[in-house]
Every structure is written in structure tokens, then in C-alpha cells.
Amino acid sequence: MSDRTSLRTKLRTKAQTIGTYVLLVAIAFVMLLPLLWLISTSLKSPTEDIFQFPPRFLPERPTWQNFQTVWQSHPFGRYLFNSTLVAVLTVGLNLLFCSLAAYPLARLQFRGRDVIFTIIVATILIPFQIVMIPLYVLAVRLGLRNTYLGLIFPAIASAFGIFLLRQAFQGVPKELEEAGRMDGCTELGLWWHVMLPAIRPALVTLAIFVFIGAWSDFLWPLIVLDRPELYTLPLGVATLASAFSLDWRLIAAGSVIAIAPILLLFLVMQRYILPTDAGSGLKG
């Protein structure tokens, strides 16, 4: 009787596991449908109907002509360079300034620390559209309009980044910090040699979020730029709509070019977004 009960329990557990996986695969497929349609559209020839129902996700005659037309007719190489430069600089400055701000808020004791942190976190509730005009006026007065620095200016630090890294710094064992002090590290040395390596997963997570935000930002570049040679990929893709009278195949090809680096970055970096033992460097 106990063997039958055990067998039923195992079968029930296995069925629940299979059902969970089937549900997750179905949800993933639904979430990926727009991306699959976009890639399919970018590979379709002009003779294929892209709006047929039910939709055909496998092109009858796949072609790279749409990508060639977009790349040759528009300076997508320049757009790609601009987006890469802006995103990389934004990530680097975010990691630097957010970690410098988060470290004392997490590990040092000083008057008003909690009040400062509360004010910083409260700014997350302020929509960008509210501060957009003051930021634009400030950028113009500083001579940052139509410059790479002007594109990076609003995103060199973020309240979300400070919050995320502060929480990560608070999770570092006190013994690791004390070991660094015994080795003669200053506060800046502790931040660089001890704390930053201990929170690498949080740094990678923040880097990915910031990179995606900077790469896909459309509104701020649209406001601060009017020179096409400085356009980023989102602005470059937007110009395709007017240039090709809404030829969705070419727009889809440009969109695939724009999102491919983000997908590649996530596939490469996802293995680093894992919790690590911050105290693994301690000696017993």
C-alpha cells in the first residue's frame, strides 16, 4: 500500500512538473511572438504578404535584401557607433557614480544618512517628463546640445542604481570589510578592492539595465539632437518610416539591427546575473 502511495505521489509530482514546464513554454512563446514576427517580416521578399492571417512565421523565400537596402540607404553604421558609444559611456559612469554614492550610504555611519537615502529613492517616483524641460534648458546653457555628452548627461547616475547597489553593499559580510582594514585599505581602497568585487552580480545587473535603457532611449535624443550624424539607432529606425513610406519589411530589418546587440549582450552576460557568496574570500 505504501509503494502504491509513493508511486502515485511520484506520478503526481512528475505530472505537475511537466504541466509547469508546458505552461512556461506557452508563456514564453506568447511573449516571443512579436519578436518572431519582426524577424520573419525582415526576411520576407516584396512578393510575400506580411499581414496575412493566420500569419506565416517562416518566409517562403528568405532574403537578406531588406537588411542590405537599409544599411546602404541609411548610415546605420554611424547610428550603431553612436548608440554603442553612448550606451557604454552611460554604463561606465552609472557604475562609477552609483557605487560611489551607494557605498557610504550602506557602510558608513553619518548624520542624515537615512534622510539622504530616502530623498534619493523618492526621486524614482518623479516621471522623466516632469524634469525633461529643466534638463534640456540646463543642457543648452552648458553647451551640450548636439553632443555625445548631452546624450549621456541625464543618465550618468540613477536613483535605482544607487538603491540596487546599496542593498548589495549591505549584504557584504562585515568580516570581509574588517579583513580589508587589517590589510591597510583606506575607504576608497575598500570600495575598489573589496566591495566592488563582492557585488559583481549586482554591478552586472545594473549594467544590463542601464545599457538597455540607454540603447533604446528615443525621447531624450529626439529632443537634444538635430544633427543626423549624431542620431542613435532608435532615431535612425524612426527615419525609415518616412523614407520608405511605411515599408514594414525595411522597418523590421532596421528594428532587428537595433535590437540584436541587446539580445547578444543579454545572452553573453546572463550567466553573471547569479548570486555569489560574497564571503567566499574569507579564511576560516
Say if residue 234 is in the same domain as residue 97.
yes
Say if residue 32 is in the same domain as residue 130.
no
- CA separation for the pair 240, 77 (Å, rounded): 15
Q: What is the pLDDT of residue 284?
A: 37
- Examine residue 281 and state whether it is found in any structural domain, yes or no: no
User: Which cell numbers in the block locate residue 53?
Assistant: 492571417
Of 24, 44, 63, which residue is a domain's last? 63
- Examine residue 277 and state whether it is found in any structural domain, yes or no: no
Say if residue 140 is in the same domain as residue 78.
yes
Of 63, 85, 114, which residue is a domain's last? 63
Say if residue 58 is in the same domain as residue 103.
no
Say if residue 52 is in the same domain as residue 74.
no
Question: Largest Cα–Cα distance of the chain, in whole Å?
Answer: 83
Say if residue 25 is in the same domain as residue 149.
no
* Residue 132 contacts residue 219 (beta carbons within 8 Å): yes
* Residue 178 contacts residue 200 (beta carbons within 8 Å): no
Say if residue 212 is in the same domain as residue 238.
yes
Q: Please provide residue 143's backbone torsions phi and psi, each rounded to the nearest 5 degrees.
A: 75, 30
> How many domains does the chain divide into?
2
- Examine residue 82 and state whether it is found in any structural domain, yes or no: yes
- Examine residue 279 and state whether it is found in any structural domain, yes or no: no
User: What pTM was computed for the model?
Assistant: 0.84
pLDDT in tens, the chain (284 residues): 566 677 777 888 888 889 899 999 999 888 888 888 888 888 888 878 777 777 777 788 888 998 998 888 889 899 999 999 999 999 999 999 999 999 999 999 999 999 999 999 999 999 998 999 999 999 999 999 999 999 998 999 999 999 999 999 999 998 888 888 888 888 888 999 999 999 998 999 999 999 999 999 999 999 999 999 999 999 988 888 765 567 788 888 999 999 988 888 888 887 776 554 444 444 43
Taking the CA atoms of residue 256, residue 262, residue 268 and residue 269 in that order, the dihedral angle to the nearest 10 degrees is -160
Say if residue 120 is in the same domain as residue 51.
no
CATH number of the domain encompassing residue 199: 1.10.3720.10
Domain that holds residue 135: 69-272
- 20, 29, 58, 141 from 26: Cα distances, Å: 10, 5, 19, 52
Say if residue 119 is in the same domain as residue 201.
yes
- Examine residue 284 and state whether it is found in any structural domain, yes or no: no
Say if residue 235 is in the same domain as residue 103.
yes
Q: What is the pLDDT of residue 281?
A: 43
Say if residue 163 is in the same domain as residue 143.
yes
- CA separation for the pair 101, 66 (Å, rounded): 46
Say if residue 54 is in the same domain as residue 125.
no
- Work out the number of other CB atoms within 10 angstroms of the CB of residue 90: 25
Q: What angle is formed at CA 145 by the lines to CA 143 and CA 150, rounded to 5 degrees?
A: 95
Of 63, 80, 110, which residue is a domain's last? 63
